[in-house]
Structure 1
Amino acid sequence: MRARHSLQWLVDQGCLQAPMSTWPVMWADISPGLDNDAAPALCRESLAWQYLRFERDYHAGERLQMGLSAGGAGQEVVFRDFAGGPREKGEVNARLEWMSGGLAIGLSGTYVHNPRDGDEARYDGSYLAGTLGNWVLGAGAIERWWGPGWHSSTILSSNARPVPGVWINRKQSTPFSWRPARWLGPWHAVAFVGQLEDERVVPNAKLLGARVTFRPWRYLEVGLNRTAQWGGDGRPQSWSSFWDAVTGRDNGQQGPGNDPSNQLGGADLRLGFPVGSAALGIYVQATGEDEAGGLPSKFMNQAGMDLATRWLNAEQRFYLEYTDTTAGSWSSEQRPNVAYEHSTYQSGYRFNGRNIASTWEGDSRVLTLGATHFFRRGSDVSVTLSRAELNRDGTLPGRPASAGTPVLEAVDAQDVAILAASYRLPVLGGRVTLSGYYTDKEIETVARQWSRTTVMAAWEYRFD
């Protein structure tokens, strides 16, 4: 969270120029800006600048980096935001990272106590990546977040475990040298093919994704993205079927139950500009279900604003975010039980029981107010308050018993208030996070019923 806050403030102030709504962000893309000694004093003297230079220097160099972490909670955390945290009741992790020249390797192993999906041993966060010119080729399972939202995304977030796969992305977001395209400004692109789990209605389906972001104006960032569930056991997996999925030619044209892919697509915009030493952002995101003609429709929508301030010799980030995940939510033709569902891929747009996009699941309307205070010496405190109308129509799509891990989706219409808080602080060279959340009523999901109060603790240590 601190890294994203710091980068976004520097971009909004004009200190850096790279797109910031596609995560992870490449150090190679922001490092040249952090080395700019001619940058304004407002940039160089900020906590954000100093923090990012410290983190950049830690990750630089040809050396082995090691870390340990452990976390636990009274129960599995139902709703997750960009800051993340433990997914299960108990986790222990060890990781190694090494980089040399154009090659980077990360090994991450996690033991999970009594997980809901049955995977006690996990390798989430492991990767192998190399550079080819200004492109990075990689394989592994890494967290991703697409969009300007701070609490959720309508197309791809870190709510679910990372999907293992292969990918390609730009290393640095330098503008086009070709004059007709130079107006796009700094731009970034990423595409991946991921492998979903085998315990689902269509076992071993693939997850495809592509996103392009660009900054045609200092204050504006635009994102365009598309994802698809395609292939799997018993489904077409030819090159022609793949091409039809990529180009959208298969959208709903072969009748219910025969559609070769489940597609989502859309766009997001963010306006960010300085207000003195503060920075204000306004953003929207729209993601549509597949539709004939190659273009998405029946949009799920998100809108929000955020404010970064520098008070009390520290930094703060505030945001107000509204999300509506009913298909066609801002139109007169709302379609319940359509968002993140599909007639062929009946396990839905999910991985191991969690939505790949919105932590709120489909057919929900949520307003969230969040605030984080970043202290100078490395600690921070966060509070979020959400008013959530979950599963507003009160029904669920029919899912067969083979749908896989039970879904974290409300079984009926539930109106709930959610208060979450966390405190992170340095302790003996490591970092401890204490957090918890409270809901004004119990939440009943397809997976189980969740109690109103949960307390969590996590610890992490990086070896120098």
Structure 2
Amino acid sequence: MSRFVVSVLIVGCGLCSLPSSASPWIEAEDPFLRSDLQYLADRGFIRLPLNTFPVRWSLLADQFAKLDPATLNSAEQSAYRHVQYRLDSERLGRGRSHLTLSWANDADVGQNGFGGSEHTEYGIRASHEIMENQFAMRVSSGYRQAADSSDHWHFEDSYLAFGARDFTLSLGWLSRWWGPGWQQAFGFGQQAVSVPGLSLSYQHPSAGWLGSLWAETLLGKQDIDKQDNQVDADYLWASRVALRPKSWLQLGSSYKQWLGGADTLPGQSATSEQSSNGMWTLDMRLSAPLPLDGAGGLYGEYGHDRQSGVDYQLMGLDARWLLGRESLRLVAEAQESDPESTSNADLGVQALWQHKGNAIVDAVDGKRVSLGGYLQLHNDHTFSAFVHQNSPATAERYQTLVAQYRLPVFAGRVTGNLTGSEASAPTADRFSGGVVYEYRFN
């Protein structure tokens, strides 16, 4: 599939003209944009499912156009201006061409969770995006450090998409985040190497009693020669339904399964009751305004891996306020697996749901508690920091600190990443750091 995707993208380059409308998606790359959107949704101004990314800008734009900035308080106006700027930038075609340089002394350094950093020690990537009313594409190519020499050159982040009314057909590499969490997701917690695939999505901003509706099905391709996981399969099929029937209620469910290969873990027989490798999830978020013009929510997610038999639970709480001219979102999450639900708990989700060595499902066997937040300054500087207390099912407990600072500089944006771990952590470097520079051509 990868060669076919690249061929279609190259042919498409010769058929396209200048951009004329907004980028099709709010991608799973910017937790601060998501924080602004979530705040406006929690305050009841937009009815957008924010538990599934990427999500089409058009699902937001129609609702956003109905807002009257004069009726908003200072905290709401701050979030409104941030989102409006991004929407206007997409409509005007700003920054369609990107050049990104990255370096780190550890491939896993940097912000994890939603919008996490690419897992590589060094790399360079260039991309160009073209937009039309019912057509969009991006050609992206780069070179990076990789365990396999055939993965040095890559076309990840490239895509080709066609839209007709409420439907979108896309082909290529798009990072996805399916779930209400900020640091963990059981549906799709993809942060690094994207799964190339063909997807069909349906979105409707006003679907009666269902509210705002988003549905997607994806057929992805993996290279089984790379031994990405312990399931010998060629394809990944994944589907997702998300809706927001009330301004204070957000729901979602997903299911995924490897296809085209053996369906058993090492040591299992074909007649095992746990021979199916599917995993399904169910998630919910309850939102409410808070005192002092704040807003936040309580959310949870449940996942069941049919092959390993492990159940996963996630509970989280988040809240955002405007402090002077700076916005702060605090997040607390606790994720835990049930090792008694299966005799194969040590072969749980991390062993199964991987693509080129990176997790598709962001969950751990054991328990992980995450505390931290996102600080957005009025001068476009951003800072995020999280402390993770990890209690693996088969290893000693340890803590990890992950911090990220971003600032506009040199006609682009520089991101500094820092990770620190206790001596008991299963990593070679207790302290690691990295820098990413992104230049956007006007």
Counterpart selection for 2:155 from 123, 126, 138: 123
Q: Deviations over 1:276-310 (max 9, x none)?
A: 4111210000000228xxxx974211101001111
**1:265 matched residue in structure 2:** 280
The one-character-per-residue Cα deviations of 1:365-391 (angstroms, maximum 9, x if unpaired) are 11010111101121111111111012x
Question: Which residue of 2 is the match for residue 195 of structure 1?
Answer: 221
Task: Rate the CA distance shift 1:425–1:63 in 2: closer, same or farther, 3 A.
Answer: closer
Residue 165, structure 1, aligned to residue 165, structure 2: no
Aligned residue type for 1:175: S
2:299 corresponds to which of 275, 280, 283: 283
Q: What one-letter code is carried by the residue in structure 1 that aligns with 2:325? A: N
2:172 alignment partner, one of 140, 157, 166: 140
SS of corresponding position for 2:73: helix
Quote the offset at 1:132 in angstroms.
2.2
* Structure holding more helix per residue: 2
Contact 1:289 1:298 in 2 (8 A): yes
Amino acid at match of 2:91: A
Where 1:143 maps in the other structure, the secondary structure is coil
Equivalent position of 2:26 in the other structure: none
Report the counterpart of residue 3 of structure 1 in structure 2.
33
Give the Cα separation in 1 of the matches to 2:343 and 2:252. 25
Match of 1:24 in 2: 54
* Correspondent of 1:453 among 431, 437, 440: 431
CA contact 2:325–2:378 (8 Å) conserved in 1: yes
Q: 2:98 aligns with which of 67, 70, 93?
A: 67
1:45, distance to aligned residue in structure 2 (A): 5.5
Whether 2:80 is the aligned partner of 1:49: answer yes
Find the aligned partners of 1:339 and 1:455 in 2 and give their Cα distance: 30
Cα displacement string for residues 419-443 of structure 1 (whole angstroms, at most 9, x for unaligned residues)? 1111111103211111201111153
Say if 2:403 is the partner of 1:421. yes
Find the partner of 2:141 among 109, 125, 137.
Answer: 109
User: Out of 76, 83, 89, which is 2:107 matched to?
Assistant: 76
Tell me the residue number matched to 1:175. 206
User: Structure 1 CA distance, aligned partners of 2:76 and 2:287?
Assistant: 21
Correspondence list, 1:235-250, <5 A: none
2-structure distance, mates of 1:52, 1:190: 24
Cα distance change on mapping 1:304 and 1:56 into 2, 3 Å: same
* Cα contact 2:309–2:344 (8 A) shared by 1: no
Check conservation: 1:154, 1:325, Cα contact below 8 A. Answer: no
State the distance in 1 between where 2:144 and 2:338 align: 33
Partner residue, 2:45? 15
CA RMSD between the two structures: 2.6
Q: TM-score, normalised by structure 1?
A: 0.81
Contact preservation (8 Å) 2:336, 2:367 = yes
Residue 372 of structure 1 pairs with residue 404 of structure 2: no
Greater Cα shift, 373-382 or 136-145: 373-382
Does 2:255 correspond to 1:255?
no
TM-score (norm 2): 0.84
Letter in 1 for 2:240: R
Check conservation: 1:10, 1:43, Cα contact below 8 A. no
Structure 2 unpaired stretches of 5+? 1-30
Residue 63 of structure 2 is aligned to residue 33 of structure 1: yes
Judging changes above 3 Å, is the alpha-carbon distance between structure 1 residues 281 and 334 closer, same or farther for their aligned structure 2 residues?
farther
Tell me if 1:462 matches 2:440: yes
Residue deviations 1:63-109, cap 9 Å, x none? 88101111111111168211312311101111110011100001111
Distance 1:117 1:309, change over 3 A: farther
For 2:57 and 2:387, the matched residues in 1 are separated by 32
In the alignment, which residue of structure 2 is the partner of 1:336? Answer: 345
State the distance in 2 between where 1:336 and 1:202 align: 16
Query: Aligned runs of 1:432-451 on 2, under 5 Å?
Result: 432-444=414-426, 449-451=427-429
Deviation digits for residues 337-376 of structure 1, max 9, x if unmatched? 25327xxxxx622111122112x53x22110101111011
Q: Tell me, which stretches of 5 or more residues in structure 1 are unaligned?
A: 177-181, 236-251, 342-346, 395-412
1:184: which partner in 2?
210
Counterpart position of 1:398: none
1:351 maps to which of 349, 355, 358: 355
In structure 2, what is the Cα distance between the partners aligned to 1:59 and 1:414?
47
